[in-house]
Amino acid sequence: MLCKKRESTVTVRVRIAPSPTGNLHIGTARTAVFNYLFARHHDGKFILRIEDTDLERSRPEYTDNILNGLRWLGLNWDEGPFFQSQRLELYKEAVEKLLDQGLAYRCYTTSEELDALREAQKAKGEAPRYDNRHRYLTPEQRAEFEAQGRSSVIRFQIADDREIVWNDLVRGKMSWRGSDLGGDMVIARASSDGSGQPLYNFVVVVDDIDMEITHVIRGEDHIANTAKQILLYEALGAKIPEFAHTPLILNQEGRKLSKRDGVTSICDFQDLGFTAEALVNYMTLLGWSPGDSTQEIFDLESAAQDFGFDRVNKAGAKFDWDKLDWLNSQYLHHKPVGELTDLLMPFWEKAGYQFNGGRERSWLESLTGLIAASLTRLVDAVEMAKVFFTDGVELTEEGSQQLQQEGVKIVLQAIITALESQPNLSADIAQGIIKQVVKSENVKKGLVMRSLRAALTGDVHGPDLIQSWLLLNQIGLDRSRLNQAISNN
């Protein structure tokens, strides 16, 4: 049965229906976020459907990418995933229903005839549309076309004088005329067995009816499909869901965000070092604003409590990298050290850093604590931690100039001498050594600090010097670097 009876109290049921012809796109993910928030706000169901009827372009690795991306974002579905490729009999049953009712028909127009029709319309300055020439073929005419070896598509009848109206939850009243929909719509293409391969606009309606979808929440680029799909809901005797067409995500030039912009898939954002929480938080703000306009940081649960389409914008939402970076930094800065270390380790491993030579868990957590406040993205930790995972240092211009200053060698040698009597370096002992050298060599503290930092890290800027020194001391690199700085300058 395509149409199921619902109880008097309707449970909100929404769906996200990605196509596995590519990785999970940021636009699809944002649509998933809005669906998820709406479902949770109404204690409804969030359903996952994989629209894989494009057998030539669909790939299992893309399906895996989509599922993993949604899980990573925390968008856990209540039902599914359902695969359209496993539901073909349901679609064929619906096609036959429309054929039997005379609402659809077999069309034998060849591609050459369609091309000629479009060229004639173009010459007259008319919009391209099918002229419905095979809507009322007789059985004899159909038999003649089939005898010629013509294959047929299946078209759904659309009355030119029909007005299709719906109240969009984002855009208000929407209206389309049947004459603007391009003529009778192909709902199934030709296939070898004559049953027809069902097409997108048709199968999504059949699925939404079967899955009892109450609200269709999707991007505004689907608005043109909605009028056609409403006619199909009616023809199949189904309750028409409510529609909400959300604004598109735009690039800085105001065009729809696309692959040309470089980073568009969720796995790209993962590789760049964004956290799931920050990305979901940011996507929620792409087109929607919370009741409290000052609130910018929230998780899925708190956003769901406040979510509604009354505050979803009609205008496109420009993607703002600075805002995403800021949100990500806020999440990173507030993460417990242990959790943040777990997030950083894969990036360090990918960079080839080895966790040996004293770099055990406690040391890694100390390193994380040292650089955490400076992180904007997780990937930033690769460069920040480089000096702690390599034997030598690369001197910056400022670092090189510092080590060439008069008296630096004497200062560094004095630090080495002081270290010889301190087998277990601590923060207090390190501070004491610096004070001792300042006094014994009669130099300014700034000279000692800058020279020590340049020798240990290669630069005069960086995270807390004492903590950096302790980390390098624990893996036995501080003395060797001090000796190297003396010998090289």
Residues recognised as catalytic? 259
- Asked if residues 485 and 392 have their Cβ atoms less than 8 Å apart, the reply is no
Query: How do 249-250 and 317-318 pair as beta strands?
Result: parallel
What are the backbone dihedrals phi and psi of residue 153, each rounded to the nearest 5 degrees, phi first? Answer: -95, 170
| HEC profile of 272-327 | CCCCHHHHHHHHHHCCECCCCCCCCCCCHHHHHHHCCHHHECCCCEECCHHHHHHH
For residues 94 and 236, the answer to whether their CB atoms sit within 8 Å is: yes
| Closest by CA position to 135, among listed 101, 158, 119, 110 | 158
**What distance separates the 2 farthest-apart alpha carbons in the chain?**
112
Residue 43: Cβ-neighbour burial (10 angstroms; 0-12, 13-18, 19+): exposed
Q: Rounded to whole angstroms, how far apart are CA atoms 354 and 140? A: 78
**What distance in Å separates the CA atoms of residue 379 and residue 387, rounded to the nearest whole number?**
15
Q: Where are the beta strands (DSSP E) in 85-140?
A: 104-107
Residue type, 340: L
Query: How many CA within 13 A on the CB side of residue 106?
Result: 19
Query: How far apart are alpha carbons 13 and 22 in whole angstroms?
Result: 26
Helix (H, G, I), strand (E, B) or coil at 443: coil
Cis peptide before 290 (omega within 30 of 0): no
Q: Judge residue 100's burial from the number of C-beta atoms within 10 Å of its C-beta, 0-12 exposed, 13-18 middle, 19 or more buried.
A: exposed
CA distance 263 to 13: 31
Please report where in the chains the tokens 């690369």 appear, as a residue. 394
Name the burial class of residue 161, with classes exposed (0-12), middle (13-18) and buried (19+) by CB atoms within 10 angstroms of its CB: exposed
